[in-house]
A = this chain, B = another copy of it.
Amino acid sequence: MLISVDFNSETPIYEQLKEQIVMGIASGALKPGEQLPSIRQMAEDLGVNLHTINKAYNQLKADGILTVDRRKGAVVNALTGPATLQQKDEIRKKLKPILARAICFGLSKNEIEDLCNDLYHEITGGNHE
């Protein structure tokens, strides 16, 4: 998994990290049980501070996406089952203002459906059944 950081981006570095790790898992590039570089290693590779990596890892840990212990470092979790109600609700809350904006821009229902399908396939690339 290649991870890169854009220092000129509006999105915080630790958010960029989270997004790329999540993208890696969703695409299948990162599989359950797979191990991420140590926070110090990753920090050195990307040229950022140790705490920035730590923040990203720990937020993903709080999300249940990573497990991080002192022995194996950060490890990708396996799915524990179907998404919880809280998880679905979080996605819903994040999606809503973006869809409203899309509608504002004049996107039709079909265009939104197509866009979501396109993105789904762009992300999974054939994996995830």
Q: Which residues of A are interface residues toward B (Cβ below 8 A)? A: 19, 22-23, 25-27, 65, 79, 81-84, 87-88, 91-92, 94-107, 109, 111-113, 115-117, 119-120, 122-124, 128
Q: Give the chain B neighbours of A65 by CB distance below 8 A.
A: 104
Please give me the 5 A-B residue pairs with the lowest Cβ-Cβ distance, nearest first: A26-B103, A26-B100, A83-B105, A87-B105, A19-B97
Chain B's closest residue to A124 (CB) is B103
Count this chain's copies in the assembly: 2
A120 and B98: CB pair below 8 A?
no
B96 with A82: CB separation less than 8 A: no
Question: Which listed residue, B22, B81, B99, touches A120 by the CB 8 Å rule?
Answer: B99
Q: Given that A19-B100, A112-B120, A115-B88 are known contacts, is A106 also in contact with B81, CB under 8 Å in the complex?
A: yes
In angstroms, Cα B84 to Cα A8, docked, is 25
Measured in the bound complex, the distance between the Cα atoms of B95 and A107 in whole Å is 14
Q: Which chain B residues border A95 with CB–CB below 8 Å?
A: 95, 98, 115-116, 119
Q: Could you tell me the distance between the alpha carbons of A37 and B25 in the complex, rounded to whole angstroms? A: 46
Are A79 and B106 in touch, CB under 8 angstroms?
yes
